[in-house]
């Protein structure tokens, strides 16, 4: 058994597919399969069950995955400690950002990261909160910024800010400054499919006043939603930052939703199944710093 075999096995187990793992690891699939088989022979255990949809872990595979994650994490810690000896903090961080924040945070985060941790590496992924939550638990992300995250025993969250939700419509004269949630129920909406966090929040709050959303289109992409809204295909419920970061705000009329006011809560999340490395802990501080800079120190918790 060697570290490379454990790394290969962990990647296959977490992605649930030899094909996806071979792409992620940049290794030919036959070579990857051979390494996994050698590991199974050495341990005298079947670790993975191959099926038409990918692979699932056997009980032995689940045990090995738990230990492999700990072993690989300790290897990263050793590398970091040795890096500190020579005066350089090494390591790798994978962070997930929602589309509305990618444009405003990705560049400053990357620049600050490279300036303060020049020997470390950073990967930034874009995704919806539900998808990133799953990736965080599976170990494919180290840190993620999530909207309206549901508390769980697998993820620790740190509140960052609350953003009020607005009704976005194609610009027209005479739009008021606010609109009641009950009025929103009558307006055709372009909205992401379940279980998008804003979709679930809107449905839940409407149910509280015995209403349902009038869904015109389901689109899982904020940029596409905004383009369709600007062209008059419907309205959208989004944060103001989504408009200012992803589109030309002058194309929209923006009205605050009231009675009740709707707020989307942004939190930073880390997995409790995968302890943070020193590099990741420093990166978490960088995220907090950049959020404060972005908000002008006004809304940050």
For residue 93, give the DSSP letter.
Answer: E
Q: Are residues 57 and 138 in contact, defined by beta-carbon separation less than 8 angstroms? A: no
Is residue 72 over pLDDT 80? Answer: yes
Model confidence at 269, in pLDDT bands (50, 70, 90)?
very high
SS3 of 220, please? coil
To the question of pTM greater than 0.75 for the whole model, the response is no
Model confidence at 87, in pLDDT bands (50, 70, 90)?
low
**What fold, for 1-85?**
Arc Repressor Mutant, subunit A (1.10.10)
CA angle, residues 48, 52, 55, in degrees to nearest 5: 20
CA angle, residues 165, 170, 176, in degrees to nearest 5: 60
- Which pLDDT tens digit goes with each residue over 203-227? 999 999 999 999 999 998 888 999 9
Using the Cα atoms of residue 122, residue 128, residue 129 and residue 133 in order, give the sign of their dihedral.
negative
> Residue 291: CB partners within 8 Å, gap ≥ 6?
105, 160, 161, 300
What is the distance between the alpha carbons of residues 163 and 240, in angstroms, rounded to a whole number? 8
- Which pLDDT tens digit goes with each residue over 25-64? 889 999 999 999 999 999 999 999 988 788 999 999 999 9
**What fold, for 162-263?**
D-Maltodextrin-Binding Protein; domain 2 (3.40.190)
According to the model, what pLDDT value does residue 48 have? 94
What is the distance between the alpha carbons of residues 20 and 43, in angstroms, rounded to a whole number? 24
Find where tokens 């120190």 sit: 297
According to the model, what pLDDT value does residue 301 have? 42
Using the Cα atoms of residue 134, residue 138, residue 139 and residue 140 in order, give the sign of their dihedral.
negative
Find where tokens 């194609």 sit: 170
Q: Are residues 91 and 279 in contact, defined by beta-carbon separation less than 8 angstroms? A: yes
According to the model, what pLDDT value does residue 189 have? 96
Query: What is the pLDDT averaged over residues 3-14?
Result: 92
- Which pLDDT tens digit goes with each residue over 181-199? 999 999 999 999 888 888 9
Find where tokens 């979709």 sit: 199
Q: What's the mean pLDDT when you consider all of the chain?
A: 86
- Which pLDDT tens digit goes with each residue over 9-25? 999 998 899 998 998 88
Which residue from 64, 73, 61, 79 is spatially nearest to 142, judged by alpha carbons?
73
Q: Any idea where the domains of the chain sit in the sequence?
A: 1-85, 162-263
Model confidence at 175, in pLDDT bands (50, 70, 90)?
low
User: What does DSSP say about strands 236-239 and 155-170: parallel, antiparallel, or unpaired?
Assistant: antiparallel
Compute the chain's Rg from CA coordinates.
22
What is the distance between the alpha carbons of residues 286 and 283, in angstroms, rounded to a whole number? 5
User: What does DSSP say about strands 252-258 and 155-170: parallel, antiparallel, or unpaired?
Assistant: antiparallel
According to the model, what pLDDT value does residue 297 have? 43
Is residue 85 over pLDDT 90? Answer: no
According to the model, what pLDDT value does residue 174 have? 59
Model confidence at 298, in pLDDT bands (50, 70, 90)?
very low
Question: Rounded to the nearest 10 degrees, how much is the dihedral formed by the CA atoms of 164, 169, 173, 177?
Answer: -20
Percentage, residues of the chain above pLDDT 70 = 93
Find where tokens 């970061």 sit: 245
According to the model, what pLDDT value does residue 246 have? 65
According to the model, what pLDDT value does residue 86 have? 63
For residue 146, give the DSSP letter.
Answer: E
SS3 of 276, please? coil
């Amino acid at each position: 058994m060697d570290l490379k075999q454990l790394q290969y096995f962990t990647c296959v187990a977490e992605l649930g597919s030899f094909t996806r793992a071979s792409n992620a690891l940049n290794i030919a699939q036959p070579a990857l399969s051979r390494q996994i088989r050698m590991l199974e022979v050495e341990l005298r255990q079947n670790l993975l069950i191959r099926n038409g949809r990918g692979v699932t872990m056997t009980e032995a595979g689940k045990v090995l995955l738990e230990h492999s994650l700990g072993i690989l994490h300790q290897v990263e810690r050793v590398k970091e400690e040795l890096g500190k000896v020579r005066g350089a903090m090494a390591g790798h961080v994978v962070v997930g950002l929602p589309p509305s924040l990618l444009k405003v945070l990705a560049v400053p985060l990357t620049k600050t990261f490279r300036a303060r941790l020049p020997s470390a590496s950073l990967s930034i992924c874009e995704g919806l909160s539900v998808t990133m939550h799953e990736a965080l638990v599976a170990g494919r992300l180290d840190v993620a910024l999530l909207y309206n995250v549901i508390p769980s025993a697998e993820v620790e969250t740190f509140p960052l800010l609350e953003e009020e939700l607005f009704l976005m419509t194609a610009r027209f004269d005479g739009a008021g400054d606010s609109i009641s949630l009950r009025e929103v129920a009558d307006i055709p909406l372009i909205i992401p499919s379940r279980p998008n966090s804003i979709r679930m929040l809107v449905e839940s709050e409407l149910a509280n006043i015995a209403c349902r959303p009038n869904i015109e289109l389901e689109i899982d992409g904020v940029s596409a939603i905004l383009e369709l809204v600007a062209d008059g295909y419907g309205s959208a419920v989004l944060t103001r930052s989504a408009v200012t970061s992803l589109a030309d705000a002058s194309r929209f009329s923006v009205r605050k939703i009231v009675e009740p006011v709707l707020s989307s809560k942004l939190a930073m999340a880390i997995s409790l199944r995968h302890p943070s490395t020193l590099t990741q802990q420093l990166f978490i501080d960088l995220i907090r710093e950049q959020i404060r800079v972005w908000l002008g120190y006004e809304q940050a918790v």
